[in-house]
Amino acid sequence: MEETITIRRPDDFHVHFREGGILSAVAPLTADHFNRALAMPNTTDPIRTGEDAVQYRDQIRKAARNELFEPLMTIKITDGTTPAVIVKAKECGVIAGKAYPVGVTTNAQEGVSDFKKLAPIFSMMQDVGMVLSLHGEISNRFVSVFKKEVKFLPTLKWLVDTFPTLKIVFEHVSTKEAVYEVSMMPDTVAATVTVHHLFLTTDDVLGSYILPHNFCKPIPKTAEDREVIRDAVIQGSGKFFFGSDSAPHVKMRKECGSGAAGIFSAPVVLASLAQFFDEHNHMERFEDFVSRFGAEFYGLPLNTETVALSKSKWVIPEEYDSIVPFMANEKLLWKVVKQ
Ligand SMILES: [Zn+2]
């Protein structure tokens, strides 16, 4: 008999859906496996206001072609955000504001130059109950990519101390220092974990070859960092939940002289997580990580539908509409069988 597992339908708390043709290609792949996904606001023309978010939500819904699927919306916090924008966005159903330090990743040219100057914004987010989602890397170009996350931790501490009831998500945690810091902070602070940071180290990006499809921000770190991230997930504290950071770019933009950062993982994340928990003999932690902790942190009801996976090998396709997925051409031991 084939081994199967049925879990509550999961949520993905960090997805880049992009726009236009890419949106149409990738949205159904997330909607196939997930009931809800938090849509990141760093589109070419960013999602800055509640009105932008409502419009973008409609575009994602249409592209997803799946009635079960519900996009969860964010706005981008920039130097130009005002408290009134926060109030209006909350009324429009936006659940999080995403802050990128200027220039740290794709489409982050317009971002936050000084977190302290935005105190009135964070204060308003705290008042209206909007989550602050952080790309936790500093933008100082004299600090190496390997140190940018650790150097951001004082800013995180300042935010936690200054806004004690503001909910904060430290996105795509990639270092042991950040895992320790988040673990010790109050329950208002959590972190998302991606599949690629559970699987990769720096050597999988630039070891024997440069592997552009594994290139992302924050860059995967050492085996030791990866071990600490894995332990945090396996221990199941509730402070670490799933956000894929699935970030598609067409093949041409990855395989070129200045390749873009971002790993497109949407079609493989659920199966690869099943494999991860199975290999670590903690299948019982799988459902909480993908279907419960994130929803609880955001104060959302748990999904009632289910999804089934079976232990059967499949080979990940080489491309989805000119976008190369994470682990392309590799074998996975688990497969989503009933969506
Ligand atoms: Zn992201």
CA of 75 to the centre of ligand 1 (A): 13
Rounded-to-integer distance, Cα 19 and Cα 34, Å: 19
Quick one: pLDDT at residue 110? 81
Listed residue (103, 299, 45, 277) closest to 187, CA to CA: 299
Q: Is 76 annotated as a binding residue?
A: no
Our answer to whether residue 245 is catalytic in this structure is yes
Asked if residue 100 lies in contact with residue 135, where contact means CB atoms within 8 angstroms, the answer is yes
Rounded-to-integer distance, Cα 108 and Cα 253, Å: 17
Helix 153-162 vs helix 119-128: angle between axes, to the nearest 10 degrees?
Answer: 60
Q: Is 18 annotated as a binding residue?
A: yes
For 85, residues 6+ apart whose C-beta sits below 8 A from its C-beta are 48, 49, 50, 75
CA of 167 to the centre of ligand 1 (A): 18
For 71, residues 6+ apart whose C-beta sits below 8 A from its C-beta are 17, 36, 37, 39, 56, 57, 60, 61, 64
Q: Is 303 annotated as a binding residue?
A: no
The DSSP symbol for 221 reads: -
Q: Is 79 annotated as a binding residue?
A: no
Asked if residue 243 lies in contact with residue 192, where contact means CB atoms within 8 angstroms, the answer is yes
Q: Is 264 annotated as a binding residue?
A: no
CA of 14 to the centre of ligand 1 (A): 6
CA of 311 to the centre of ligand 1 (A): 29
CA of 101 to the centre of ligand 1 (A): 13
Listed residue (116, 167, 110) closest to 139, CA to CA: 110
Tokens of 82: 């005002």
Tokens of 12: 């993905």
Give kind and range of the element (H or E) at residue 307.
strand 306-310
Rounded-to-integer distance, Cα 221 and Cα 229, Å: 11
Quick one: pLDDT at residue 145? 95
Q: What's this model's pTM, rounded to 2 decimal places?
A: 0.97
Q: Is 42 annotated as a binding residue?
A: yes
Quick one: pLDDT at residue 106? 65
| Buried b / exposed e along 221-236 (16+ C-beta atoms within 10 A) | beeebbebbbebbbeb
CA of 217 to the centre of ligand 1 (A): 8
β 240-242/70-77 pair status: unpaired
CATH of domain 4-338: 3.20.20.140
Quick one: pLDDT at residue 1? 66
Q: Is 213 annotated as a binding residue?
A: no
Which residue ranges make up each domain of the chain?
4-338
Q: Is 282 annotated as a binding residue?
A: no
Catalytic residue among 127, 245, 278, 288: 245
Per 3-state DSSP, what percentage of the chain is helix, strand, and coil (rounded to 5)? 40, 20, 45
CA of 2 to the centre of ligand 1 (A): 35
Give kind and range of the element (H or E) at residue 224.
helix 223-235
CA of 247 to the centre of ligand 1 (A): 7
| Regions of the chain with pLDDT less than 50 | none
111 HSE (CA, 13 A, CB side)? 24
CA torsion 198-155-77-84 (nearest 10°) is 140
Tokens of 295: 């929803």
88 C-beta neighbours (distance < 10 Å), count: 16
Helix 119-128 vs helix 83-91: angle between axes, to the nearest 10 degrees?
Answer: 30
